[in-house]
Structure 1
Amino acid sequence: MPESAPQSPGHTAGNRERPRIVVVGGGHTGLTAALRLQSRLEDGEATITLIDSQPHMTYQPFLPEAAAGSVEPRHVVVPLRESLRRCEVLTASVTCINHAERELTATMACGREEHIEYDILVVVPGSISRALPIPGLGEEGVGFKTIGEAIYLRNHVLSRLDAAATTSDPQQRRKLLTFMFVGGGYAGIEAMAELESMARYATRNYPTIDVGDMRWILVEAMDRIMPEVSEPMGVYTRHRLQERGIEVKLNTTAKTMEGGHVVLSDGDEFDTDTIAWTAGVKPHPMLEESDLPRDGKGRVQCTAKLQVDGMQDVFAAGDCAAVPDLTSSDPEALCGPSAQHAVRQARVLADNIIAVLRQRPLTDYRHKYSGSVAGLGLFQGAAEVYGIKLKGFPAWLLHRAYHLAKMPTASRKARIMGDWLMELPLPRQVVALGGLHEPRSEFVKAANTRGLPSERSQAG
């Protein structure tokens, strides 16, 4: 039997009548693959189980707009059970993969540990923030990969304006109004640009705070920002940010952040109450507890057919997978960790799983990077698609149109479009809801406060 058309794996995992496909990871890659599988597999051809620690998929390109209030946070997440009607969805954390036994271990949401057998495994857990051993980072920093982190940053930035408007201490005020982002890739640039745009708009409601009172600092270790696009577009983006008063520090790293006191490698020192970390990602640590082959960066080693090296019934894609880039002249080139590759890989992966089940030839993944689009705040953007460069409003419009088209499910597309249309006649909503992060604090305070004697006697 040729490698591209292996025997159906239905004989494994207890000789089940139908092969079981288990998808580890419910992010954009996992959801896209599961949607394609459930729509293209015939009834009774296989069972599909998707496992993720969250009951929803987060569309990360919309996190900056959710943080800035342009999009309702609930609209950038897709409930997995709502979308995957023909799949079994388990809210659980996978802690170990033992492919030798075709079994994985998962801790369910209720805390119970279970061992789950599979015939075909899809490994798409994604990535997590890549933190560095910088003193104070763990205590002072916050990432920007989840909806929780995005909303926290939004509330935090607005609450700093509230605090700065009420303090009479100039040193404390400078600290409150200083915002630092570390990492000049797409995630960092878009997050900072959207939040700065939001804060700039919010200062209209603070008579004692001027836009010039705020200090926004972007720290990047490389000699340029946005390496995903050509250097001229990166320079254009840097100039647009600098025109807005944002300090862009290239070839610079953070040496310490202890207590909010930042020391940079260029000698600059300042105090800040806001440190956002967007300096890269690394494969999900769950992969360390598996017997899958991985490269030096911890990614699962794959063939161009998205099969894990040496394993015909295990597939991987997305940020956690090292997939050969067949469009490159360099035989060692790998596909970059971008949403553009991840979604297209998910479709090829699903089609190849169906090919395995039906004993048909598999397809190589081949996609030439078409370009990137970025939002830089309301009505501002930068884009480079198939060599065509767009700036300002046209790029911002393309950014929104592209990501709206890529957002899974028609329901979420309609809701996001509604959010944008409501933005046109109505002012932006710039209110901090800090109580969301500690919802029980007021009740706990009330419950631990002794009432007056008359109140206690009535209660008795």
Structure 2
Amino acid sequence: MRLVIIGAGFAGMYAALSAARLREIRGVSPGQLEIALVAPEPTLVVRPRLYERKPETLTAPLFDMLEAIDVSYVQGSAETVDTKSKLVKIANANGTKKSLSYDRLVVTTGSRLFRPNIPGLAEHGFSVDSLDDAITLDKHLHGLAMRPATTGRDTVVVAGGGFTGIEAATEMPARLREILGTSAKTRVIIVERNDAIAPDMGAGPRPVIEEALRKVGVETRIGAGVASLDESSVTLSSGEHIETETVIWAAGIRAAPLTAQIPAERDSFGRLLVDRCLQVTGVQGVFAAGDAARAACDDEGNYALMSCQHATRMGAFAGNNAAAELLGLATRPYHQKTYVTCLDLGEAGALFTRGWERNVEMVGDVAKKTKREINTVWIYPPRAERAAALASADPERVTDL
């Protein structure tokens, strides 16, 4: 029997850990149940941190951990999935291709930044969506120091006033001072189409966010979007023209394209619809988790968000359930009633909320300490020691805050 997991993000990592944990508990050998993880590299990109300095350091190796728990690593990118023949076709960077059969499949292919067809965006826009994107932005920012001091050089526009946009924007003033010097007349501007900053956060936390933006000197343009951009400026839908050589796009994500190959319903974000045990609706033997799945967290109408907090726990349930089916065991319904947010606000600290109502629990330096712990400890892989790694993947305890 073979269980194949596509993707080495937070959901894929915990799907592998949880499936291996159940295999171990039931006394089944790796020869009887093979668990294979397919990814271009055996590396976790710590995507929630890519707005920070030195993005090239924001990865964590997975190979030793996978080896410790007897999960096979298959290098390459999954190009196609045939759910009828139960085959995944994989392409490697060197051009070689191969097929891998499966008895159960877990799709954890994550998400991609949605880039609309705005004039100039593809050529001149930056992002913190992927490791390569974040490294490209970082090199660009450092390169600004070699350019003449102009308004455009010293101005950064962030398109999108959601979670990612706010974290990128509030980090930017300090980064610009380090690169350009304290005498530079730097500006950072968030552009948000909705009528309020942080539209998904609700009214409760918004005053804290707005005060933090004022404190770090980030301006906002509300009720406007980016209409076009070039190498030296951006024009907003309001007609405002802003001189800038740096536009960071942070305005929405979609599930990775591979989900479109699964013959099942998807939501407006491209996520596969799954049942409570994370099996793709109407497709036998295929599970999905993380940003690839639209999953109910509870019976009150709350659905998992496209975040590592939800991806980690979903992955643990999906891996457990895929392995359980192969071993003839009962599956376990995914649930995640506890929900918190911790928003980095740069030199203004952070904001910590709890519950779907986003009740504010911590702000400022206290919340910043929690944010640092989340970013540097909690979201990293367990150590590459078999017992500890497997123990970390109990679905009922993963991200139980």
- TM-score interval (norm. to shorter): 0.7 to 0.9
1:102-148 Cα distance to aligned partner (Å, 9 max, x none): 11211122211212211010001001110111111010012212222
The residue correspondences of 1:112-127 to structure 2 (distance < 5 A) are 112-127=96-111
Residue in 1 aligned with 2:20? 38
Q: Which residue of 1 aligns with 2:113?
A: 129
Structure 2 length as normaliser, TM-score? Answer: 0.87
| AA in 2 matched with 1:22 | V
Supply the AA of the counterpart residue of 2:124: E
Which whole-Å CA distance do the structure 1 matches of 2:144 and 2:171 have between them?
A: 16
Q: How does 1:61-210 map to 2 (within 5 A)?
A: 61-65=48-52, 68-69=53-54, 73-74=56-57, 76-85=58-67, 86-165=70-149, 173-203=150-180, 206=181, 210=183
Rg (Cα) greater in structure: 1
**Other structure's SS at 1:407 match:** coil
C-alpha distance in structure 2 between counterparts of 1:159 and 1:88, whole Å: 41
1:56 aligns with 43
3-state SS, counterpart of residue 231 of structure 1: coil
Tell whether the 8 Å contact from 2:169 to 2:189 is kept in structure 1 after alignment. no
8 A contact 1:220–1:251 mirrored in 2: yes
Distance across 1 between alignment mates of 2:64 and 2:236: 47
Q: After the TM superposition, which parts of structure 1 deviate over 4 Å for at least 4 consecutive aligned residues?
A: none
Structure 1 equivalent of residue 298 of structure 2:
326
User: Aligned pair in 2 of structure 1 residues 388, 327: CA closer, same or farther (>3 Å)?
Assistant: farther
Counterpart CA distance in 2 for 1:191 and 1:154 is: 12
Q: Residue in 2 aligned with 1:5?
A: none
| 1:24-423 → structure 2 map (5 Å cutoff) | 24-42=6-24, 43-44=29-30, 45-65=32-52, 68-69=53-54, 73-74=56-57, 76-85=58-67, 86-165=70-149, 173-203=150-180, 206=181, 210-211=183-184, 213-328=185-300, 330=301, 334-378=303-347, 380-386=349-355, 387-403=359-375, 404-410=377-383
Retained in 2: the 8 A contact 1:228–1:372?
no
What TM-score, normalized by structure 1, do the two folds share?
0.76
Cα drift, residue 98 of structure 1? 0.8
Aligned residues: 373
Which residue identity lines up with residue 106 of structure 2 in the other structure? V
Q: Structure 2: which amino acid aligns with 1:339?
A: C
- State yes or no: 1:22 paired with 2:8: no
> Which structure's relative contact order is higher, taking Cα pairs within 8 Å and 6+ residues apart?
2
Of Structure 1 and Structure 2, the greater helix share is in: 1
In structure 1, give the amino acid aligned to 2:303.
L
Maintained 8 Å contact 1:233/1:389: no
CA deviation profile, 1:25-64 (whole Å, cap 9, x unmatched): 1111101111222243132341111111233111112222
Q: Given that residues 327 and 368 in structure 1 are in contact (C-alpha distance below 8 angstroms), is that contact kept between their aligned partners in structure 2? A: no
1:243 deviates by 3.0
Q: Distance in 2 between matches of 1:266 and 1:243?
A: 26
**Does structure 1 retain, via aligned residues, the 8 Å contact 2:160–2:190?**
yes
What letter matches 1:50 in structure 2? L
Gaps spanning 5+ residues in structure 2: where?
385-401
Give secondary structure in 2 for the equivalent of 1:116: strand
Mapped to 2, the partners of 1:295 and 1:246 lie a distance apart of 34
Q: Do the aligned partners of 2:103 and 2:285 also contact (CA within 8 Å) in 1?
A: yes
Q: What is the percentage of aligned positions where both structures have the same residue?
A: 27
